[in-house]
Chain A
Amino acid sequence: KQEVTQIPAALSVPEGENLVLNCSFTDSAIYNLQWFRQDPGKGLTSLLLIQSSQREQTSGRLNASLDKSSGRSTLYIAASQPGDSATYLCAVSDTAGGTSYGKLTFGQGTILTVHP
């Protein structure tokens, strides 16, 4: 059974700091890994998708890396801003024994607070 762990559970940083969020998964037979952010009481916003054959993906100030063999991914946020404050979730896609890849297994998330 796939399990996803995110460290740290919460992080508070001053504006402008670069930061790293960590995600680990127990079963390396994943199809892809996706990072999301969630604002309080809202749905999830997709940030980055990394296919299992890729090592990293970049979007603006965000960079996500994937080391499938060691079961780890990191999300790097450069020059953090107060608007980055949210919960960041990591999710992996696998077949769960079937042939469909729509099932995502989520970590518990990292609550990020960026203060001015």
Chain B
Amino acid sequence: KAGVTQTPRYLIKTRGQQVTLSCSPISGHRSVSWYQQTPGQGLQFLFEYFSETQRNKGNFPGRFSGRQFSNSRSEMNVSTLELGDSALYLCASSFSNRGYEQYFGPGTRLTVT
């Protein structure tokens, strides 16, 4: 069974631009969560989607948004990029949103210059 895939793996953007990251969950998984990992703050929860609906949201500004499609694939978007948005963005998939084991993808390394 294929794991969680994330594209692109690496991205370099300029301040003020916007970016879209993609996550394909494990086949059969319907819940997708997104996390930001930085050396200073560690892993922080961004949001969770289940059945195309956002079920939970972390404490991030409105520049961070996401969505989930009917095939459970998810995208997250960051608008008006800031230098502090440079991070590893990780996506996790789970069978449902009821506390099942979460499986993480390899991440997208975003660098904002």
Give chain A's interface residues, CB within 8 Å of chain B.
Answer: 31-32, 34, 36, 41-46, 49, 51, 89, 91, 93, 96, 98-109
Given contacts A102-B55, A105-B45, contact A42 B107 (CB under 8 A): yes
Q: Can you report 17 A-B residue pairs in the complex whose CB atoms are below 8 A from each other?
A: A34-B101, A41-B88, A41-B109, A43-B4, A43-B105, A45-B104, A46-B104, A89-B43, A91-B43, A93-B99, A100-B50, A102-B50, A102-B55, A102-B97, A103-B56, A104-B102, A106-B42
Q: Is B48 an interface residue (CB 8 A)?
A: yes
Question: Closest residue of chain A to B49, judged by CB?
Answer: A102
A109 to B105, CA, bound (A): 18
Most chain A beta-carbon neighbours within 10 Å: one of B48, B94, B102: B102
Tell me whether A43 and B33 are in contact (CB under 8 A).
Answer: no
A108 to B56, CA, bound (A): 22
In the complex, what residues of B have CB within 8 A of residue A101's CB?
Answer: 97-99
Q: Is B103 an interface residue (CB 8 A)?
A: yes
Question: Closest residue of chain A to B41, judged by CB?
Answer: A108
Interface residues of chain B: helix, strand, loop or mixed (majority): strand
A66 to B33, CA, bound (A): 24
Tell me whether B42 and A43 are in contact (CB under 8 A).
Answer: no
In the complex, what residues of A have CB within 8 A of residue B98's CB?
Answer: 101
Tell me whether B106 and A102 are in contact (CB under 8 A).
Answer: no
Q: Is B22 an interface residue (CB 8 A)?
A: no
Specify which of B56, B90, B107 is in contact with A102 (CB 8 Å cutoff).
Answer: B56
